Structure 1
Amino acid sequence: MIELGPGPSFLEYLNRDRPDLLPANRAAVPSDASGQVPHGTTIVALGYAEGVVMAGDRRATMGNVIASRHIEKVFETDKYSVVGIAGAAGIAIDIAKLFGVELEHYEKIEGTRLSMEGKANRLASMIRANLPMAMQGMSVVPLFAGYDTFTGKGRIFSFDITGGLYEEVEHHCVGSGSPYARGALKKLWQPGMGASATVRVAVEALYDAADDDSATGGPDTVRSLWPVIYTVDSTGAHRVEESILAAMSREIIAERTASAKES
């Protein structure tokens, strides 16, 4: 049984009383086992006039095998923030969920939310703690974004496997499909875009990533599988409805099919 103290950090309780429950303290894995673990890829985040958009595809892979077509890689962590995960899927999902519990616990104990910098630093410390697993090929590279209620702006933070923390401007992406998604973002994103136009750019970026990266899954009209996309603004984090993404994805596919026929 965990005995909670007065401190605001749930992670401190686990470190003190049940370190075995932390994702970073899992048993060591063989050095050649990382290829047998599902990995998630390609998360994009981009700012818009009122906040930020984060989107992730639905595919997880084990080497050259598709492990899942239904995985969700973007999670709401509190009312004003979301996190997207790339890397070893099991550990990454555990870290994302534990991060959400950490923010909720802090808010209940302190009666206020952490600042965006505070949230990003908490997540960076969790990634840093996972470094031994990362050195065994079980790395986790998240993308964190949210609406800063102090500045009234959307903000994006990226990380490296050592827990290094970097604030990004305009847009950013992580995962194996990120080089191709980044090209789409550079071409299509513009300052001051509205939420709907920015969501469409995110879908186009994931479509381009899937076109060139086998580990990234594009919109699947046969199985009715669409990206997971959140908008975050002054009203909070909101998941974009699948009906909207379905219509948007089919429109993009139709436009690209027509363009291909013309060429």
Structure 2
Amino acid sequence: MTSDPSGRLPAAYLVPGSSSFSEFVREHAPDLLPARRLAGAPAPAPAGAGERAPHGTTIVAATFDGGDGGGGVVMAGDRRATAGNLIAQRDIEKVFQADEHSCVGIAGTAGLAIEMVRLFQVELEHYEKIEGALLSFEGKANRLSTMIRGNLGLAMQGLAVVPLFAGMDLALGRGRIFSYDVTGGRYEELHHHSVGSGSVFARGALKKLWRPGLDADGAVRVAVEALWDAADDDSATGGPDLVRRIWPVVAVVTAEGFRRVGEEELEAVVTDVVARRHGDPGGSRALLRAQDGGESA
């Protein structure tokens, strides 16, 4: 945006307008938006560009309603980014805090996805400052949907972004999960969901291990187990790296707010999962324990 020679803020900043930051930028400086900036390049993305760009892969989320802390949602993501058949990064972070009571996980083209998350974070903060109130959970999901739709042109060239959005709906008093497609369509998921290249395998694990009455610790355990199963069958999903001490990123959102699970706490969960999988790589005994109502899976 062109600055005023006098050093004052441009007039656009002083005119009442939309509470949407992305709409403000789209109107006054559209070239700053990721999709518009890349779409304005001299030539469209070459064939295969989407495969060569680093991609984030598997994200899982699960709600819980038990324990002294009440209900909420857990979101977890592996740490591997791939570019074709290569590992582009071993410790990328794919789960981010959106605001105090929500989080977003990224799958798809990593660079675009991270930039979209940052814009989404500013979007929610901007709304709160302009309106003096928090955006409803449905409103947050809709705003993210609009951003994804704005990236449709690049998605058609193979540079797609497919996030997973989850958090605590304070109005309803429970955790909620929303998935999206590349056109911006949003879909509420019940109990659990996963996105990314390993999502088919993670979703199967979630179906078997999730159960009503889980507390936060149980939901964290289920998420880690699901990521393990995804990594076991999907080469683009990275499992826990015991040598490099790289663990999944796991976040818990409750009425008290967003909390990222600490390294020590997560290491204990991962170590136990790995130990129990020795001689039982499919986790069948853990599944039987869960079905029998025994110790946490």
The interval holding the TM-score normalised by the smaller chain is over 0.9
1:232 is aligned to 2:244: no
What residue in structure 1 maps to residue 135 of structure 2? Answer: 114
* Number of aligned positions between the proteins: 261
CA distance in 2: counterparts of 1:69 and 1:243, whole angstroms: 19
Instruction: Give how far 1:191 is off.
Output: 1.1
1:36 is aligned to 2:47: no
Over 6 Å off, 4+ runs: none
CA distance in 1: counterparts of 2:246 and 2:86, whole angstroms: 18
What residue in structure 2 maps to residue 131 of structure 1? Answer: 152
What residue in structure 2 maps to residue 96 of structure 1? Answer: 117
CA distance in 1: counterparts of 2:189 and 2:117, whole angstroms: 20
1:128-177 deviation line (CA, Å, top 9, x unaligned): 01000000000000000010111111000000000001111010000000
- The counterpart of 2:271, out of the listed 246, 250, 253, is 250
Instruction: Give how far 1:20 is off.
Output: 1.2
- Between 1:6-15 and 1:51-60, the stretch displaced more is 6-15
Where do 5+ consecutive residues of structure 1 fail to align? Answer: none
What residue in structure 2 maps to residue 208 of structure 1? Answer: 229
2:217 is aligned with what amino acid? S
Instruction: Give how far 1:31 is off.
Output: 2.2
- The counterpart of 1:151, out of the listed 152, 172, 177, is 172
2:151 is aligned with what amino acid? N
CA distance in 2: counterparts of 1:165 and 1:36, whole angstroms: 27
1:82-134 deviation line (CA, Å, top 9, x unaligned): 00010000000000110000000000110111111100000000000100000
1:113 is aligned with what amino acid? L
1:115 is aligned with what amino acid? S
What residue in structure 2 maps to residue 66 of structure 1? Answer: 87
1:209 is aligned with what amino acid? A
Determine which structure has more spread, i.e. the larger CA radius of gyration. 2
What residue in structure 1 maps to residue 204 of structure 2? Answer: 183
CA distance in 2: counterparts of 1:186 and 1:248, whole angstroms: 20
1:67 is aligned with what amino acid? A
What residue in structure 2 maps to residue 16 of structure 1? Answer: 27
CA distance in 1: counterparts of 2:280 and 2:247, whole angstroms: 22
CA distance in 2: counterparts of 1:145 and 1:252, whole angstroms: 25
Instruction: Give how far 1:259 is off.
Output: 3.2
1:213-241 deviation line (CA, Å, top 9, x unaligned): 00000111100100011110100010000
2:59 is aligned with what amino acid? I
CA distance in 1: counterparts of 2:239 and 2:149, whole angstroms: 31
1:198 is aligned to 2:219: yes
CA distance in 2: counterparts of 1:239 and 1:159, whole angstroms: 23
Instruction: Give how far 1:258 is off.
Output: 4.1
- Cα RMSD of the aligned pairs, angstroms, is 1.2
Q: TM-score, normalised by structure 2?
A: 0.86
Instruction: Give how far 1:34 is off.
Output: 1.3
- The counterpart of 1:165, out of the listed 186, 197, 201, is 186
More strand by share: 1
CA distance in 1: counterparts of 2:279 and 2:201, whole angstroms: 22
2:85 is aligned with what amino acid? N
CA distance in 2: counterparts of 1:259 and 1:227, whole angstroms: 21
Instruction: Give how far 1:29 is off.
Output: 1.4
1:76 is aligned to 2:87: no
- Between 1:1-10 and 1:14-23, the stretch displaced more is 1-10
SS at match of 1:221: coil
- Between 1:25-34 and 1:50-59, the stretch displaced more is 25-34
1:44 is aligned with what amino acid? V
